[in-house]
Structure 1
Amino acid sequence: MRENVPWPDGGEQGPVTAARDGAAEDIRSFDAAIDPARAAGLLAALELVRADAARGAVLDFELLRRWQQHVLGTPDVPALRTLPAFAKGGAERYGIGPDTRARLDACLAQAATGPLPLAARAARAHLDVCFFHPFDDGNARAAFLTLLFVLAREGVKLDSVVLIRRVACRADEPQDALSLYRSIEFHLRDSRAAAQ
């Protein structure tokens, strides 16, 4: 389904200096309400995401693993899962094969450049992580961090991420991908307007 999403053209480009740190604020409210340790791990990973973006790191599975170690609070970086995974009450199944990692890295590489606008590249990278489902746990958080990395690499920080984190996407529904794109684009426009 990845190639069947009718991604829009255009959208405003360029850095956005947000008036506030929407990602960190959301983690402190949403994730801390679930578990303070979860929030602490995600905030530590967010710092790494931004440092990696600033140094021009290549987005690939190795980078995700470093972030995911903080997300999960594990002593070692987590490995690529070895068994099929299921989500949405078993409605979605994510297979695993000898080429899964290479395919994930190839998809993530497309977030760096290309014909798609920034919001579409960020949405697609987010969905790539969701639907490749590379880890045994914490894939939604890994996807969120991936999206933030794609934005940060282009100097974008958002005032809010509420709509982005509350959108549920099905792997077989291209319109869900567009809903995520529209949420990112909305927050980009809102953050840009607030910064002016």
Structure 2
Amino acid sequence: MSDDAPATWRRVREQVDWSSAATAAPVPLLPVVDGLAAWFDGPVRHRDPDRADRLIAAMTLSRAAAGRGEPLTPALLDDWQKLVLGTLDVRLRQGDAFAKGGRERYGLTPHTWRDFAACLHQSGAPSVPLSARAARAYLDIAFFHPYPDGNARLALLVLAYVLEVEGVRLDEVGPLQTTRYADDPAGAVDLAALVSVLIHTTHRRATAAAQ
């Protein structure tokens, strides 16, 4: 069994130089394809139509919040997660959780949710490049593991939300669907770089289509 993933992630999070983990991102034109909606309406719908409908509803709600410039908070996530899971009873987990076949443990201390809220707040820090902030917020969801279920789906919504607040949408999100580990600073940097690449690629394709 691994060490406590949230504690490990907090240490790794402080080690990464997020300011240099990704290049500055151009704000793209509207993408040729809405990558997040296409992912939900394609691969996800193929596996589970009801899940796809719930995710599209959560995406719509999150984009409305982004349009208002609302900061990321646990309460905001609760609203999305109700739609993701199709339930009115959503609350932060009340004990340890496990994933990756039990190899990753998500512990719970009196400070876990205070630390989680502080990390979410940093998603709006202008001193960190947008792509790095989006990747970091994705990993915050992955490794704090705030809910008993649905955290991977929520992580993707959160990444997209951080971009959406800045007027950025990706035209593909499939490359983001890979396993991440709390004790991997190089992997965190790689994710930030990948988000940067996806933003630049979206921008290039949108610009080409507009010409």
Query: What is the TM-score with the length of structure 1 in the denominator?
Result: 0.94
CA distance in structure 2 between the aligned counterparts of 1:118 and 1:71, rounded to whole angstroms = 25
Query: Hey, what does 2:202 align to over in structure 1?
Result: 191
Tell whether 2:182 aligns with 1:171: yes
Contact 1:121/1:150, CA 8 A, preserved across alignment: yes
Query: Hey, what does 1:180 align to over in structure 2?
Result: 191
**TM superposition shift of 1:113:** 1.7
Among 65, 84, 87, the residue aligned to 1:52: 65
Contact 2:25/2:131, CA 8 A, preserved across alignment: no
State the AA in 1 paired with 2:202: S
Segments of 5+ residues of structure 1 without an aligned counterpart are none
**TM superposition shift of 1:15:** 4.7
State the AA in 2 paired with 1:124: R
Between the two proteins, the alignment pairs up a number of residues equal to 194
Runs of 4+ in 1 over 4 A off after TM superposition: none
CA distance in structure 1 between the aligned counterparts of 2:134 and 2:123, rounded to whole angstroms = 7
Q: Does 172-181 or 41-50 show the bigger shift? A: 172-181
Higher Rg:
2
**TM superposition shift of 1:5:** 2.0
Q: Does 109-118 or 1-10 show the bigger shift? A: 1-10
Among 145, 153, 159, the residue aligned to 2:171: 159
Query: Hey, what does 1:2 align to over in structure 2?
Result: 13
Contact 2:27/2:203, CA 8 A, preserved across alignment: no
Query: Hey, what does 2:31 align to over in structure 1?
Result: 18
Segments of 5+ residues of structure 2 without an aligned counterpart are 1-11
Tell whether 2:123 aligns with 1:111: yes
CA distance in structure 2 between the aligned counterparts of 1:10 and 1:189, rounded to whole angstroms = 10
C-alpha distance 145-107 of structure 1, shift in aligned 2 (>3 A): same
Query: What is the TM-score with the length of structure 2 in the denominator?
Result: 0.88
Contact 1:13/1:118, CA 8 A, preserved across alignment: no
Helix, strand or coil for the counterpart of 2:171?
coil
**TM superposition shift of 1:92:** 0.9
CA RMSD of aligned residues (A): 1.3
